[in-house]
Amino acid sequence: MPTPTKVLHTLPPEKSLLHPRNPHRLAYDFKVLIKACPELAPFVSLNKYGNESVDFANPAAVIMLNKALLMHFYGVSAWDIPAGYLCPPIPGRADYIHYAADLLAGSNARVIPLGKSVRVLDIGVGASMVYPIIGHKEYEWSFTGSDIDPTAIASVNRILKSNPELSKAVECRLQKSPSDILKGIVKSGEYFDLTISNPPFHASLAEARAGTERKWRNIGNKKVKTDTLNFGGKKTELWYEGGEQAFIHKMIEQSAEIPLSCFWFSTLVSKRESLRGVYKALKNVKAFDVKTLDMAQGQKTSRIVAWSFLSNSRRAEWRMRNW
């Protein structure tokens, strides 16, 4: 695993809610980020507290901040996303990766399995492919990213073309069936050590707009632009008929059809009220093991729910074969 970045003692205190290995526990050092990505400079100014920041209500500023973070912390040489697509918060995405590493370590005598032999399926990789970038840099895992949107897949391919090291570790697949999640993506005889997913958690466009309004107010913007969703984001990124619970139920159903193809299936669950239905669905498919990992970033709390169909003997065989 790469050597942790050295941090000057003059930086602000750590954000203790993030995972201990998350390099974004410290407040953004904009001087360092601008050095990595000079294009960020025009978006940085002093906020009302006298600290350097960007306008988080400005999608262009958020995209440029993400680009700087990816360049500085993860060695990306070029990165961009198409206009109107979701620009995910890097610290939260990094948290998922680090908690997922702990999940694998928990099944491997507390040792995180490293290297390209560890295969991860990112369900809904998006135009930004943030999870594969972070996971490969931190743990050298290899990734397969799936998405239902051809434009997102094209964006991932452009990023890979501009980053040769990533192109050796990441492939992407178009999900051609709107009603499927794992089916049509996981090939016969194919194995993954982990799946990750950040499902669309809104059930409709109206619900997505309401969520956007809350986010804008939380960052102090009184003029809510209801035509701007979640600092960017297309329909398939932000809402799914039935919301996140319906998406996760479909994923659980299809995971039960390929129970031996993955060591740990996992997904984010943003809404606590979704958990009861998720647990019931996992009980119905007779998952052998279910774990819930709580996460928190600022005002937002979420959790990862992971499940496995592998018995203890099959897990031992898997570790000997793959790790």
Buried b or exposed e, range 186-203, using 16+ CB within 10 angstroms = beeeeebbbbbbbbbbbb
pLDDT of residue 298: 64
**pLDDT for the residue numbered 8:** 33
In the DSSP assignment, the letter for residue 105 is H
At residue 17, the pLDDT reads 86
Q: What is the reported pLDDT for 87?
A: 87
Q: In this predicted structure, what is the pLDDT of residue 84?
A: 85
- Both ends of the chain: CA-CA distance in Å? 15
Cβ–Cβ < 8 Å for 159, 79? yes
Q: Which residues pair with 120 in a beta bridge?
A: 143, 194
- Listed residue (233, 237, 242) closest to 203, CA to CA: 242
Which residue numbers in the chain have pLDDT < 50?
A: 1-12, 202, 211, 216, 219, 222-233, 237, 239
Instruction: Report residue 293 as tokens.
Output: 């990992």
Relative to beta strand 119-123, strand 192-197 is parallel
Q: How many residues does the chain have?
A: 323
Q: What is the DSSP letter of 202?
A: B
Is 81-322 CATH 3.40.50.150?
yes
Q: Beta strand pairing status for 300-308 and 262-269?
A: antiparallel
Question: What per-residue confidence (pLDDT) applies to 126?
Answer: 94
Helical H runs in the chain?
Answer: 30-36, 59-74, 90-106, 130-139, 150-162, 164-167, 205-218, 235-238, 243-255, 275-284, 312-322
DSSP 154-174: HHHHHHHHH-HHHHTTEEEEE
Q: What is the pLDDT of residue 243?
A: 81
Q: What is the pTM of this model?
A: 0.86
Digit-coded pLDDT (tens) for 5-25:
333 334 445 556 899 999 999
Structure confidence at residue 178 (pLDDT): 87
